[in-house]
């Protein structure tokens, strides 16, 4: 079993910043979301929660969630605050970053999609601020390459029962998942998680025995697959 306890690191270059209750709560929420999505067993959840509650410094928190897609945003924030490099990477203090344009919703019309025992294929137009989806034992294919661009923000509100949409995003899109899940959840592929340089996707809603699949648009992949 992988050991997610923070390693002792007394390097003189380490910024020893004490973790706040808010920091620990953020990580605990990530663990709860990962457990609801089926990524952690009850035993693993309990073990990691105990590690979080025992953590004193900020740099002790990222290793606890570095294998959970639900924790990318929290992990990235903490690593930036403490200059903790990702495993096999370099510190944010020396790693070049792309400039990110602040994201905001478009001013176009919103879109509604209803899928029952089937679905459709939709390319979401530029400047669409919001897509509302209802799926029952089905789901549509939603392509966001036209709406996702630097500075753009789009929100998908989805209610899924034994189904869900396939959502295709271009490279560089920051993905924030605020969904409530029961025996289901959104499956966000690691290669779809971007740095926000190409916009922000916010997913809200409710999943019951279902959820959305979020993946990189094939047209954004170097190999086209």
pTM over 0.75: no
Residues 117 and 57 placed together within one structural domain of the fold: no
User: Tokens 């020893």 correspond to what residue?
Assistant: 16
Indicate if the pLDDT at residue 34 is higher than 90.
Answer: no
Note the pLDDT of residue 46: 86
Closest CA to 14 of 103, 108, 76, 85: 85
Instruction: Give SS3 for 220.
Output: helix
CA–CA separation, 124 and 113 (whole Å): 11
Q: If you average pLDDT over every residue of the chain, what do you get?
A: 83
Residue 88 lies in a domain: no
For 38, 108, 162, the CA distances from 44, given in Å and listed in that order, are 11, 44, 26
Q: pLDDT higher for 124 or 42? A: 124
CA–CA separation, 185 and 204 (whole Å): 11
Indicate if the pLDDT at residue 101 is higher than 70.
Answer: no
Residue 13 lies in a domain: no
Residues 204 and 143 placed together within one structural domain of the fold: yes
Note the pLDDT of residue 96: 43
Note the pLDDT of residue 207: 95
Residues 120 and 208 placed together within one structural domain of the fold: yes
Q: pLDDT higher for 4 or 63? A: 63
Q: pLDDT higher for 143 or 72? A: 143
Residues 71 and 119 placed together within one structural domain of the fold: no
- Burial state string for 198-212 with b = 16 or more CB within 10 A and e = fewer than 16: bbbbbbbbbbbebbb
Name the phi and psi angles at 190, rounded to 5.
Answer: -55, -35
Note the pLDDT of residue 97: 46
Domain tally, the chain:
2
Closest CA to 205 of 144, 139, 106, 120: 139
Residues 142 and 212 placed together within one structural domain of the fold: yes
Domain final position from 82, 102, 123: 82
Where in the sequence is the domain holding 26, given as residue range(s)? 21-82
């Amino acid at each position: 079993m992988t050991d997610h306890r923070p390693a002792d690191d007394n390097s003189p270059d380490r910024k020893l910043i004490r973790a706040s209750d808010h920091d620990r709560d953020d990580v605990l929420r990530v663990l709860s979301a990962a457990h609801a999505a089926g990524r952690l067993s009850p035993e693993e959840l309990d073990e990691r929660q105990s590690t979080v509650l025992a953590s004193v410094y900020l740099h002790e928190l990222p290793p606890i969630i570095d294998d959970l897609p639900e924790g990318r945003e929290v992990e990235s924030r903490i690593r930036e605050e403490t200059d903790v490099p990702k495993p096999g990477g370099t510190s944010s203090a020396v790693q070049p970053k792309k400039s990110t344009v602040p994201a905001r919703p478009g001013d176009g019309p919103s879109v509604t999609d209803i899928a029952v025992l089937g679905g459709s294929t939709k390319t979401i137009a530029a400047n669409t601020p919001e897509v509302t989806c209802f799926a029952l034992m089905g789901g549509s294919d939603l392509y966001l390459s036209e709406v996702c661009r630097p500075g753009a923000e789009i929100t998908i509100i989805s209610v899924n029962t034994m189904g869900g949409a396939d959502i295709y995003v271009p490279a560089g899109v920051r993905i924030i998942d605020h969904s409530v899940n029961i025996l289901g959840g959104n499956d966000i592929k690691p290669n779809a998680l971007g740095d926000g340089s190409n916009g922000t996707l916010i997913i809200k809603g409710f999943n019951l025995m279902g959820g959305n699949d979020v993946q990189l648009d094939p047209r954004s992949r170097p190999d086209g697959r």
